[in-house]
Structure 1
Amino acid sequence: MYVVIEGVDTAGKSTQLDILKKNHKKAVFTKEPGGTEIGLKLRAMALNGEATSKTAEMFLFLADRAEHIEQVIKPNEGKMVVSDRSVISGISYAKELPLEVVTSLNLIATQNTLPSHVILLELSKEELTKRLSGKTNDSIESRGIDYLLDIQDRMKKTVEMLNLNHIYIDASLSIEEISQKIEGFING
């Protein structure tokens, strides 16, 4: 089982991942970008805004994704793997190229290895505004609320385009309600 938790920043992925770690002690937990040694370097470069070109930024994330599939996902195929972000984010954040082109590049990077379970935590414009106002934003979050809402919409389109097994959850629900919905989806 290859489970991914998706959502724009501040949607509550980290909180839900911490709960999953307590409930699934034998699972392998990872993240994109940064789930491998080279991935940590690529993640730092991308989130610090070192790539001035959006295309270069996308290729940093593609390189991370290819390493992640090879070093983490494939070696653990017989186990439950839970990832903070995945190919869905990779496709959704690469807005400068047509969706079909970005999807093709990501399918090459992942060797067509796709998640078996996708959990997307959704935020309303009001909730996203409230959550972002209370934190220091990285180079991606600094692009603004409309940008992040567009990314969230692209995540949904990507999930549907790839025909992935998924659940959309209102991220403004209580932590416990969200956790119960996630467990129900994973165990269902």
Structure 2
Amino acid sequence: MTDSEPAPPSTGPFPVEGTDAGSPVTTSPGLFVCFEGGDGAGKSTQVRLLADALTARGHEVVVTRQPGGTELGARIRDLVLHGDHVAPRAEALLFAADKAHHVDELIRPALRAGRVVVTDRYTDSSIAYQGAGRDLGAGEIRALQHWAVGGLLPDLTIVLDVPASVGRARRGAEHDRLESEADAFHEAVRRGFLALAAQDAGRYLVVDATSPVRDLHEQVLARVDAALAARPAPTRAEAP
């Protein structure tokens, strides 16, 4: 994963949690992969396919989502997506609180232990949905999200790009508060994701989410394989 400003490293080499302090340990950097995209893009399917493929190859994979990846996050998810009206700025702050807790409680510890973390949504969703969709300003929401997660960015962000009309057709009749927004909102969100990807192309993979599921998976897996191959090799460290 990538911290966008100098800070203590959040990946390896770190001892794998659960080892004895007095014995040799294997250390390895983790890998942080995020799936982004509009509602109905097929993120959950691609998250599952990637996690299954990596697990079959022997990787230790942590699958999570935002909001809702922790007990606190699940409460925030229910409040924001299924509760009564939430003012736009309050919505942005609640999502930021979810991310701050999620990173500290789950994501950083997993990465320090050398695991592959695969998340369904991360900071870009807030920048796209609240910054672009709610028109709160991408720069303001980016700064809020950056602060909330302590600058932690994914090693790879995969954007599943889908037109708003296609996403609506896929979602069916039951919608949460954000899904029920008009197509104009979702097109603004889509443009927000694409703008983020264009600003940092080396860290993003944008795929056409109207393509067949297996074709998408192969594109994603090839890019993740490249990211895994670029990691430093695990090392054996003797305790002093």
Normalized against structure 2, the TM-score is what? 0.74
Q: Distance in 2 between matches of 1:165 and 1:58?
A: 24
Structure having the larger proportion of residues in helix: 1
Q: Percent identity?
A: 29
* Contact 2:49 2:217 survives alignment (8 Å): yes
Deviations 1:82-106 (A, max 9, x none): 0000000011111332211111111
Deviations 1:25-64 (A, max 9, x none): 2211110111111000001000014353111111110000
Give the alignment partner of residue 155 of structure 1, picking from 180, 186, 193: 193
Are residues 1:32 and 2:63 paired?
no
Matched residue pairs, number? Answer: 187
TM alignment of 1:130-149, pairs within 5 A: 130-132=169-171, 134-149=172-187
User: Deviating runs (4+, > 3 A) in structure 1?
Assistant: 159-164
- 2:117 pairs with 75, 81, 84, which one? 81
Which amino acid in the other structure matches residue 43 of structure 1?
R
Query: Is 1:170 aligned to residue 231 of structure 2?
Result: no
* Offset, 1:164: 5.8
**Residue 103 (1) aligns with residue 142 (2):** yes
With structure 1 as the length reference, what TM-score do the two structures score?
0.93
Indicate the larger mover: 79-88 or 94-103: 94-103
| Greater displacement, 121-130 / 86-95 | 121-130
For structure 1, which segment, 38-47 or 87-96, has the greater mean C-alpha deviation from structure 2 after superposition?
87-96
Q: Is contact 1:32-1:85 (8 Å) kept?
A: yes
Q: Distance in 2 between matches of 1:67 and 1:159?
A: 25
Any unmatched runs of 5+ in structure 2? Answer: 1-30, 227-240
Q: Say if 2:167 is the partner of 1:128.
A: yes
Q: Which runs of 5+ in 1 are unaligned?
A: none
Deviation at 1:10, TM superposition (A): 0.8
State the Cα distance separating 1:157 from its structure 2 match: 1.6
Alpha-carbon distance in structure 2 between the residues aligned to 1:129 and 1:46: 20
Q: 1:131 to 1:187 in 2, by over 3 A?
A: same
The two structures, once aligned, show a CA RMSD in angstroms of 1.6
Q: Is the 8 A contact 1:116 1:164 kept in 2?
A: no
Larger deviation: 122-131 or 25-34? 122-131
Aligned to 1:7: 37
Whether contact under 8 Å (2:80, 2:86) holds in the other structure is no
Distance 2:150 2:177 in 1: 29
The residue that corresponds to 2:47 in the other structure is 17
Instruction: Indicate how the Cα distance of structure 1 residues 31 and 125 shifts in structure 2: closer, same or farther if over 3 A, else same.
Output: closer
Q: Does 1:59 align with 2:93?
A: yes
Note the C-alpha offset of 1:72: 1.2
Would the alpha carbon gap of residues 18 and 75 (structure 1) be closer, same or farther in structure 2, given more than 3 Å must change?
same
Report the secondary structure of 2:180's partner residue: helix
The equivalent residue for 1:42 is 76
